[in-house]
Amino acid sequence: MFLFNYSKIQALDAFTGLTTLVICQQAIQEMEGLTSLVHLECLWLCETNISKIKGLENNKKLQKLYL
């Protein structure tokens, strides 16, 4: 997701097979909804207003986290 200025990321639970998620240049302040992404291996959160990340405890396959 790039350059759309979303204020909230919703419906990630519909994409349970994601292995990589890249979110750049969004207006979001809190990252949530990651609990259902159990296959996530790589997460990029760049150029956002994020001050809190929720739901990483279920991401046992996460190998790379870029903030």
Model pLDDT for residues 42-54, shown as the tens digit of each residue: 999 998 888 989 8
Model-level pTM? 0.84
Model pLDDT for residues 14-36, shown as the tens digit of each residue: 999 999 999 988 888 889 889 99
Residue 21 belongs to a domain: yes
Residue 3 belongs to a domain: no
Residue 4 belongs to a domain: no
Range of the structural domain that residue 32 is part of = 12-66
Cα end-to-end distance, the chain, whole Å:
15
CB 37 within 8 A of CB 21: yes
Please enumerate in sequence order all residues whose Cβ is within 8 A of that of 26, keeping only pairs 6 or more positions apart, or say none.
1, 4, 5, 6, 7, 9, 47, 48
